[in-house]
Amino acid sequence: MNKKELMSCILTTAFKNKEGHIASAFSILDFMLSLYNGVITNDDEFILSKGHSSLALYAIMLAKKQISIEDFFLFCEFDSKLGGHPSSKKLPNVKISTGSLGHGFPYAVGVAMAKKMKKEKGIVYCLIGDGEANEGTIWESALLAGSQKLDNLVCVMDFNGSGERAIKLVSCVEKFRSFFWNSIAVDGHKESEIKNSLLFKSNIPKFIELRTIKGKGCPIMENNPEWHHKQPSSEQELSTLIESLY
């Protein structure tokens, strides 16, 4: 399935079940596709710390045939494997249940440290949000990972401006660099930049700021706070949104 087909599926299941953070999922979909198409290996781990973007993760699972289309359209229904936040109890490919912001990243640091101690191969990738970076656990974890020189850890921030409505967050690249991370910023919707940033080697932990647009690919949603946790309200609105995808 291509990106537009996945976006259409996300819109449809969110409309059907009246649940889901669609714009947040669209924000990270380019990154998820880049990560899972030629970067992540069987030795690696991925942790979605910003768990409310779960529809993007489920879309990747759908594309990789790890879940069925029937599973996908049961999103958030009673007894569904796919909740509004991903559950490690229901999905074997999910390392940790996330949703309460600021918890996934500390866990990722622990997994990276454990891999080091056990001399295991593989990289731990963790995706956080810019709003999530208001949590103190993010910076405590960054300091610990930097001091331990965890070169098997990659923290990726979806910098889509959500945090601007709360506490303005600036100079994240410099902040992580001050904690002894190899830090860069890239266009979060350009596959070549994303893949290059993920694949370059570093002897210290790596931080990547993805400069993204919330709701990317759906003009009505782009940078529109109204769509943070909103679903199409009618068949007509759903059709209009699907037709507008690019």
Please state the rounded mean pLDDT for residues 175-182.
Answer: 98
pLDDT at 114: 98
Does residue 166 have a pLDDT over 80?
no
Read off the pLDDT of residues 12-58 as tens digits, 9 standing for 90 and up. 999 999 999 999 999 999 999 999 999 999 999 999 999 999 999 99
Read off the pLDDT of residues 45-87 as tens digits, 9 standing for 90 and up. 999 999 999 999 999 999 999 999 999 999 999 999 999 999 9
Contact 173, 209 (CB under 8 A): yes
End-to-end CA distance of the chain: 15
Does residue 167 have a pLDDT over 90?
no
pLDDT at 184: 98
Q: Residue 164: which pLDDT band, with cuts at 50, 70 and 90? A: confident
pLDDT at 24: 97
Please state the rounded mean pLDDT for residues 118-138.
Answer: 96
Percent of residues, the chain, with pLDDT higher than 90: 96
Find all residues with CB under 8 Å of 169, minimum gap 6, and list them.
Answer: 130, 133, 134, 159, 163
Q: What is the DSSP letter of 162?
A: G
pLDDT at 9: 98
All domains of the chain in start order, with CATH: 3-244 (3.40.50.970)
pLDDT at 185: 98
Read off the pLDDT of residues 80-122 as tens digits, 9 standing for 90 and up. 999 999 999 999 999 999 989 999 999 999 999 999 999 999 9
Half-sphere exposure of 237 (CA within 13 A, CB side): 11
pLDDT at 169: 86
Element (H, E) at 47: strand 45-48
Find all residues with CB under 8 Å of 39, minimum gap 6, and list them.
Answer: 195, 198, 199
pLDDT at 28: 98
Does residue 163 have a pLDDT over 80?
no
Q: Phi, psi at residue 106, to the nearest 5°?
A: -55, -40
Contact 105, 126 (CB under 8 A): yes
Find all residues with CB under 8 Å of 205, minimum gap 6, and list them.
Answer: 112, 145, 146, 149, 150, 151, 153, 154, 155, 180, 181, 182
Query: pTM for the complete prediction?
Result: 0.96
Contact 97, 126 (CB under 8 A): no
Average pLDDT, the chain: 96
Residue recorded with tokens 């949104």? 241
pLDDT at 239: 98
- Beta pairing partners, 126: 47, 155
